[in-house]
């Protein structure tokens, strides 16, 4: 892996530069805040109030001509459509009236048929059962028929066939009532129901009913014929309307053609000339748009000329942007081949000088604990040497680090402006750009410019790009160095090692201080382990270290942690344990180790002992190094007192509970005195 992203990805990112979120002071908003969008005329350098050339009246020449032509076309169209509309309205009104009349005639004809059928049904039922209600229903049917026939004759005024058919139905229906219906009712009323029933259905009645039905069929046929005539009239009206609209449309087309011919001669030809000039400019020829006409086309030519000049200016800006992109590409390549943090920062500093030429600035990096800033690179007057720590109690005193966004102080002499106490500036503008990578703050870049060269939004974007690339490269470099130089687990025992334990203890100390809980530390060293190795061999020593690690882990809670600190030295962190509780845990481990029997093979066994030094936070301090040193001193005391025991620092011995004293550990082979580092100073086991 390289320190930077790949070249192709970097080039793509350079091609589309996004604007970072920027926090500015009140005085800086006017310097880099977005303004209103420029119109085409403003880009072309034209005054929106005064058109180019002499006289304002010339901008209305073509406009007046177009308005006049459109007025003529619209007037002709209105007249034609008005005349056609009047005729169509009259025709449609007549057709609608005829259709409504036909619909009423159809409904009335249906009412006549229903009344006739009601009379027949009521008569037959009356003859059968003689109910008085049926006689009333019969007379109601007669009345309804007469009313419907009178209405139908009124509607059919002027239609002789319909009047004749209606009269014929009236006559045939009256003949049936006089010839059969009334006599049958009279017979039933006299009690001769059987005689009345005999008259029903005879040949005479059938003749009368046939006459009625024939008249009804004729009336229905006449009504249907009238309905069909109405439909044919509607279809003819539609054809007439279409013909009239076509005629009006042809008139309008002719008018438009006449106006179009004039438009072509007075407007289109001059525009074609402008198009030819535009094509020449596009092809790279040195052509200009000339305003030769005293109308809107001339004004358009002047506008295009202004745009041409604006494009040339934008082309120069594009070349400048390309140069900046090239600078970022070179920076990416340099970062990719950088051998360390110094090379990365040097490349970023050169890139900033080419892009912005800041008068003064620095690169400040955070220490691993994220609580101190130190100078990684600086330039300009009053630049601090590399490695100089910044005299501030918290890094977030820098507004850029505090907010996590670039922060601009447009005028550091403004009494209302937020000042950066990390980088003091006396005049001009100051930009604080945080260096962020994978969610972490790596450092901050400060850029200072004099009052005559204020920092704008473009400068903020460029500085943010440089900060982003440098921060990612620094993070990658540190990650690679960490992965290459650290292994968090001891391969032999499976315990964590010192590289894991040290930051772990730092975090635990901070947590215990925050929660006001004690934290115990136990330093353990196997007694005369070199003699053990020399006596039983290194494989046996490896087996003993494994058994010892298992024994210690089994004696601890799940919340406690044991790590192999180096060779035969181990360290334990006991959460929530004061000095007395830590001593008790150490004594528990010591007894477990004392009872441990290491199986070295068939018929071979060995025993181990260990010495313990304890310390506790906050009694012996809250700093990791101080606490470990205190526990190590106590371990040395345990060695001096004969090994196989738990010891506390001399200063705390008088205030701790009595510790069970054990006989000195038996020596396997040794008549030598025990120096301070007799176990840790011996040749370290290869597995360590």
552: in domain: yes
* CATH number of the structural domain spanning residue 356: 3.30.450.40
- The answer to whether position 358 is within a domain reads yes
Residue at 621 is within a domain: yes
Q: Are residues 505 and 459 in the same domain?
A: no
| Identity of the highest mean pLDDT range in 200-209, 279-288, 406-415, 598-607 | 406-415
Same domain, 100 and 247: yes
Look at the chain and report how many structural domains it folds into: 3
Structure confidence at residue 15 as a pLDDT band (50, 70, 90) = very low
In this structure, are 439 and 552 located in the same domain?
no
Residue 11 lies in a domain: no
In this prediction, residue 59 carries a pLDDT of: 58
Q: What is the pLDDT of residue 685?
A: 32
The total number of residues shown for the chain amounts to 688
Q: Is residue 276 part of a domain?
A: no
Q: What value does the mean pLDDT take over residues 598-608?
A: 86
Q: Is residue 423 within 8 Å of residue 375, measured between CB atoms? A: no
* pLDDT over 70, % of the chain: 84
Residue 514 pLDDT level (bands cut at 50, 70, 90): very high
If you average pLDDT over each of 480-489, 628-637, 655-664, which comes out highest? 628-637
Q: Residue 565: in which H helix or E strand, if any? A: strand 561-566
CB-count exposure of residue 542 (10 Å: 0-12, 13-18, 19+): middle
pLDDT at position 602 is 82
Q: Which among 453, 483, 513 is the end of a domain?
A: 483
pLDDT > 90 fraction of the chain, expressed in percent and rounded: 34
Q: Which residue has the higher pLDDT, 117 or 308?
A: 117
Rounded Cα–Cα distance for residues 186 and 190 (Å): 6
Give the three-state DSSP class for 407.
strand
Q: Is residue 426 part of a domain?
A: yes
Q: Is 149 left (phi over 0), alpha (psi -120 to 50) or beta?
A: alpha
What CATH number has the domain bearing residue 240? Answer: 1.20.120
Known catalytic residue: 205? Answer: no
- Same domain flag for 89 and 238: yes
Question: Which residue has better confidence, 91 or 330?
Answer: 330
Cβ atoms within 10 Å of 67's Cβ, excluding its own: 11
Backbone phi and psi for residue 521, each to the nearest 5 degrees, phi listed first: -130, 135
Rounded to two decimals, the pTM is: 0.40
Residues 415 and 506 in one domain: no
Q: Are 129 and 171 part of one and the same domain?
A: yes
Cβ-contact 509, 616 below 8 angstroms:
no
Burial of 485 from C-beta contacts in 10 A (0-12 / 13-18 / 19+): exposed
Segment of 276-280, 292-296, 395-399 carrying the highest mean pLDDT: 395-399
The two structure tokens encoding residue 451: 């009052």
Structure tokens that stand for 201 in this block: 């259905």
Please tell me whether residues 88 and 235 are part of one structural domain: yes
The mean pLDDT value for 553-562 works out to 94
| 3-state class (DSSP) for residue 377 | strand
d(CA 651, CA 643): 20
561 occurs within a structural domain: yes
Residue 319 pLDDT level (bands cut at 50, 70, 90): confident
> Confidence band (pLDDT; 50, 70, 90) for 69?
confident
* pLDDT surpassing 70 at residue 615: yes
Span 573-594, mean pLDDT?
94
> Is the model's pLDDT at 55 over the cut of 70?
no
Bigger pLDDT: 672 vs 143:
143
Identify whether the C-beta of residue 554 lies closer than 8 Å to the C-beta of residue 675: no
CATH number assigned to the domain comprising residue 622: 3.30.70.270
Residue 531: give the domain boundaries. 496-653
Confidence of residue 652 (pLDDT cuts 50, 70, 90): low
Final residue belonging to a domain, choices 483, 518, 539: 483
* DSSP class of 315: H
Round to whole Å and give the CA distance between 646 and 82: 117
Is 57 inside any structural domain? no
Residue 666: pLDDT band by 50, 70, 90 thresholds?
very low
Q: Are residues 552 and 637 in the same domain?
A: yes
- Are 479 and 501 within one domain? no
Q: Are residues 445 and 555 in the same domain?
A: no
The structure tokens 């070199």 sit at 530
Mean pLDDT for all residues in the chain: 81
| CA triple 151-154-159, angle to 5 deg | 125
**Residue of 91, 508, 568, 569 marked active site:** 568
As a whole number, mean pLDDT of residues 234-252 equals: 83
Please tell me the number of Cα atoms within 13 Å of 269 on its side-chain side: 8
Average of per-residue pLDDT across 454-480 = 91
Question: Are 606 and 644 contained in the same domain?
Answer: yes
Confidence of residue 470 (pLDDT cuts 50, 70, 90): very high
Q: In 377-440, which ranges are continuous DSSP H helix? A: 399-403
C-alpha 293/C-alpha 323 separation (Å) is: 42
Q: Is the pLDDT of residue 654 over 50?
A: no
Contact between 159 and 109 (Cβ < 8 Å): no
pLDDT in tens, 528-548: 999 998 988 989 999 999 999
Residue 30 in this model has a pLDDT that exceeds 60: no
Which pLDDT score is estimated for 51?
A: 45
Q: Are residues 506 and 418 in the same domain?
A: no
Look at residue 688 and tell me whether its pLDDT is greater than 80: no
In whole angstroms, give the CA distance from residue 35 to residue 31.
10
Strands 610-617 and 496-497: unpaired
Final residue belonging to a domain, choices 209, 243, 260: 260
């Amino acid at each position: 892996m390289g320190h930077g992203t790949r070249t192709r990805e970097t080039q793509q990112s350079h091609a589309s530069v996004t604007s970072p979120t920027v926090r500015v002071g009140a005085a800086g908003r006017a310097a880099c805040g977005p303004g209103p969008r420029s119109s085409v005329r403003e880009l072309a350098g034209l005054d929106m109030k005064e058109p180019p050339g002499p006289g304002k009246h010339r901008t209305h020449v073509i406009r007046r001509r177009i308005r006049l032509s459109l007025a003529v076309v619209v007037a002709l169209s209105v007249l034609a459509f008005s005349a056609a509309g009047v005729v169509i309205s009259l025709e449609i009104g007549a057709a609608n009236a005829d259709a409504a009349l036909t619909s009423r005639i159809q409904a009335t004809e249906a009412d006549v048929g229903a009344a006739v059928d009601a009379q027949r049904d009521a008569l037959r039922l009356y003859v059968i059962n003689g109910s008085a209600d049926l006689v009333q229903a019969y007379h109601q049917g007669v009345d309804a028929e007469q009313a419907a026939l009178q209405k139908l004759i009124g509607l059919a005024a002027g239609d002789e066939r319909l009047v004749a058919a209606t009269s014929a139905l009236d006559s045939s229906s009256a003949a049936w009532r006089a010839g059969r219906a009334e006599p049958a009712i009279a017979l039933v009323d006299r009690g001769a129901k059987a005689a009345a029933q005999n008259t029903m259905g005879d040949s005479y009645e059938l003749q009368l009913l046939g006459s009625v039905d024939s008249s009804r069929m004729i009336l229905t046929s006449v009504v249907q014929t009238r309905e069909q005539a109405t439909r044919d009239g509607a279809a003819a009206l539609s054809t007439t309307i279409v013909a009239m609209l076509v005629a009006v449309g042809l008139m309008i087309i002719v008018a438009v053609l006449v106006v179009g011919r004039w438009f072509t001669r007075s407007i289109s030809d001059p525009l074609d000339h402008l198009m030819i000039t535009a094509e020449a400019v596009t092809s790279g020829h040195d052509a200009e748009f000339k305003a030769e006409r005293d109308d809107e086309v001339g004004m358009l030519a002047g506008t295009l000329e202004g745009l041409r000049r604006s494009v040339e200016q934008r082309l120069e800006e594009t070349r400048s942007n390309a140069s900046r992109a090239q600078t970022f590409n070179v920076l990416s390549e340099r970062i990719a081949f950088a051998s360390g943090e110094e090379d990365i920062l040097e490349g970023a500093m050169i890139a900033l000088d080419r892009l912005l030429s800041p008068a003064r600035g620095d690169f400040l990096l955070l220490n691993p604990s994220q609580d101190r800033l130190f100078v990684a690179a600086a330039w300009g007057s009053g630049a601090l040497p590399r490695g100089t720590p910044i005299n501030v109690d918290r890094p977030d005193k820098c507004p850029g680090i505090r907010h996590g966004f670039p922060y601009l102080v447009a005028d550091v002499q403004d009494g209302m402006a937020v000042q950066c106490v990390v980088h003091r500036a006396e005049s001009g503008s100051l930009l604080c750009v945080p260096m962020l990578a994978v969610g972490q703050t790596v450092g901050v870049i400060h850029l200072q410019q004099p009052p005559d060269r204020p920092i704008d939004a473009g400068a903020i974007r460029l500085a943010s790009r440089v900060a982003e690339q440098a921060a990612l490269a620094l993070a990658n470099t540190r990650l690679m160095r960490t992965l290459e130089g650290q292994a968090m687990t001891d391969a032999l025992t499976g315990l964590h090692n010192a590289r894991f334990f040290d930051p772990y203890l730092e975090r635990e100390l901070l947590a215990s201080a925050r929660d006001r809980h004690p934290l115990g530390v136990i330093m353990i060293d196997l007694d005369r382990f070199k003699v053990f190795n020399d006596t039983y061999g290194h494989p046996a020593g490896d087996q003993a270290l494994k058994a010892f690690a298992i024994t210690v882990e089994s004696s601890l809670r799940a919340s406690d942690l044991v790590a192999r600190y180096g060779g035969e030295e181990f360290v334990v962190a006991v959460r929530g344990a004061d000095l007395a509780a830590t001593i008790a845990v150490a004594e528990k481990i010591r007894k477990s180790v004392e009872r441990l029997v290491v199986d070295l093979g068939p018929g071979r066994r060995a025993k181990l002992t260990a010495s313990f030094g304890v310390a506790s936070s906050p009694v012996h301090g809250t700093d990791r190094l101080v606490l470990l040193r205190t526990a190590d001193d106590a371990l040395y005391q345990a060695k001096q007192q004969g090994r196989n025991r738990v010891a506390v620092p001399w200063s705390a011995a008088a205030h701790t509970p009595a510790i069970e004293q054990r006989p000195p550990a038996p020596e396997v082979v040794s008549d030598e005195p025990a120096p301070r580092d007799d176990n840790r100073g011996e040749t370290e086991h290869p597995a360590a």
